[in-house]
Amino acid sequence: MKIVRIILGATALILATIAISCKSKSGTTNDITTYDNDSLTFYPFHGFLQSQIADVVKTPYFIYTITQQEGKRDSVVISSADFAALTTLFVAWNIDSPAFKKYYREDAFNDASTNSVTLSYSTQNKRLPVQQADVLLEPETQRVKRIFLQIIQNRNDTTFLYKLGWKANKSCSIAKSILPGKGRELSSHTSIVWNE
């Protein structure tokens, strides 16, 4: 019985040593960088976007889209339900959630070219859909001016690249590139306007 306890203890000690030695000292495990930012408060842009979408859905705005694809341009009036469906990509993932936050790094700087304080969130984890988020704030009021998101999704052998832009209280845009495993790339750009 004593020998069994010694063997179990030694096995546990060896496994713990292996587990600790496999962890990288730079905060990476399995080539995925993580950041110790539990105490850092990210700007709550996910909640901001949710409230903006809710406002547009409940307010009787004249909402329309302008889509450019393959050299053609089309304008369409849409309903608030269509707007809600088109903008789901903006709020599909919350990088501030505990499951994602550790993979993002925050950088902040004053951008004289846009007269904004820019908060930039980026990841090196290519498996996460949101690769980058930039929040531009008014320097004096700290109110959101614009938000930009870069999203990557892989389905089967096709990659979907999205560049999303949100202009506070006015409009948003979705630039989409579809990269199939075989065949040519397809691109489109849709602007959604409700208060400009």
Q: Are 75 and 92 in contact (CB under 8 A)?
A: no
Counting as low any pLDDT under 50, the low residues of the chain are 1-29
pLDDT of residue 181: 86
In the prediction, which pLDDT does 31 show?
Answer: 67
Q: What is residue 196's predicted lDDT score, i.e. its pLDDT?
A: 85
**Which pLDDT tens digit goes with each residue over 36-53?**
776 678 999 999 999 999
So what's the pLDDT on residue 177?
97
pLDDT of residue 11: 35
The pLDDT of residue 191 = 99
Query: Which residue reads 């990557």 in tokens?
Result: 152
Cβ contact 90:56 at 8 Å: no
- Distance of alpha carbon 189 from alpha carbon 196, whole angstroms: 18
pLDDT value of position 30: 57
Distance CA 55, CA 166 (A): 14
Q: Which residue has the tokens 């889209």?
A: 65
- Predicted TM-score (pTM) of this structure: 0.81
